[in-house]
Structure 1
């Protein structure tokens, strides 16, 4: 896919997890460089037709907020809730704690989709980053309807057309206090 924009893709940002390794705080709401991480992710997806955030409502203009039932049920139910709001043929699935995600990272992923197959980012060690990918919405809906598991990997792996290496800034997330401190220091430096 070479051309993209609001009529081509919507974004679903999962931002309602338990953040157990951070003591249960509102992880996507933590600030890096004066901006909540989920705000940075939403800004990176600014070319999306719709930005759907699965998690508590926040001050992010233009975003649609939904919750999985029950809240905190996990990424598969959260994706199901977010996907219900998607109207575009492609969906960018993102974590809410990516402090350095940029529009160029999403452009790269979108350029690697086609023939109904998705594209998932891989980190420097070749591991898939399931909360940084692009999926055909219709195929994802079909897969979700037939899927009884709880793992994003189990759901998404059969839909992958391309694994796309992206720089560390794209997939770096803040799961621990050390990650958060590193991100804040990098942003300040």
Structure 2
């Protein structure tokens, strides 16, 4: 297998409003005795190509997240603008040339996520996961060089991640396992995923 020598950090997005979960902080919802964000953390720690550093993007319960020992980064903007605002804050704080982005509510992320995305990005500046069922724009890698474009988009009121990635000519990288990207963003999905 050809691997990449790109140096990267990773961010777990925990800063959403959790509207489909009744407005709760999804990162702290429990799945099999662990908070959702810790499932994502474990999957990142187990990557075949591990990140130099893992940080958390959060806008609530900052001290509780910080107790993990990970750096916690809040959005730079007072408005809740979704994942792009969390990515903007993470790109602002990263020291690496590349950032791997994952949401907190996808607990079974593939362990070759980083490697496949960073190999698949080629000469582009962004890549995201694609399965047979659909695209997964919040599972992506971005070059730090995209920060000005992302900030400009948010300044102009465009906060749809999939649309912005398309504008950046992001590469879709195919993954074979749809279930690895199961998104637990409703009470029903979370309940169905419980095994204990």
Taking structure 2 as the reference length, what is the TM-score of the superposition? 0.82
Q: Residue in 2 aligned with 1:3?
A: 4
User: 1:18 is matched with which residue?
Assistant: 17
**Alignment match, 2:137:** 130
CA apart distance, 1:128: 2.0
1:52–1:63 Cα contact (<8 Å) kept:
yes
Distance 1:160 1:52, change over 3 A: farther
Q: Secondary structure at the match of 1:53?
A: strand
Alignment length (residue pairs): 182
TM-score by length of 1: 0.85
Change (3 A) 1:32 1:22: same
Structure-1 separation of matches of 2:170 and 2:89: 24
Of residues 26-35 and 85-94 in structure 1, the stretch that sits farther from structure 2 once superposed is 26-35
The corresponding residue for 2:35 is 36
CA distance, structure 2, for counterparts of residue 40 and residue 81 of structure 1: 22
Structure 1 residue 97: Cα displacement = 0.7
- What is the rounded CA distance, in whole Å, between the counterparts of 2:169 and 2:42 in structure 1? 25
Q: Which secondary structure state, in structure 2, belongs to the residue aligned with residue 76 of structure 1?
A: helix
Following TM superposition, by how much is the alpha carbon of 1:21 offset from its aligned partner in structure 2, in angstroms? 1.1
Task: Point out 4+ residue stretches in structure 1 off by more than 3 angstroms.
Answer: 59-62
Shift in Å at residue 62 of structure 1?
A: 4.2
Q: 1:102 to 1:160 in 2, by over 3 A?
A: same
8 Å contact from structure 1 (residues 113, 119) kept in 2: yes
- For the residue of structure 1 that corresponds to 2:81, the secondary structure is coil
CA distance in 1, matches of 2:54, 2:185: 23
Match of 2:180 in 1: 170
Structure 2: segments with no counterpart, 5+ residues: none
The aligned runs of 1:64-143 (5 Å cut-off) are: 64-68=71-75, 69-70=77-78, 72-125=80-133, 127-138=134-145, 140-143=146-149
Corresponding residue for 2:162? 153
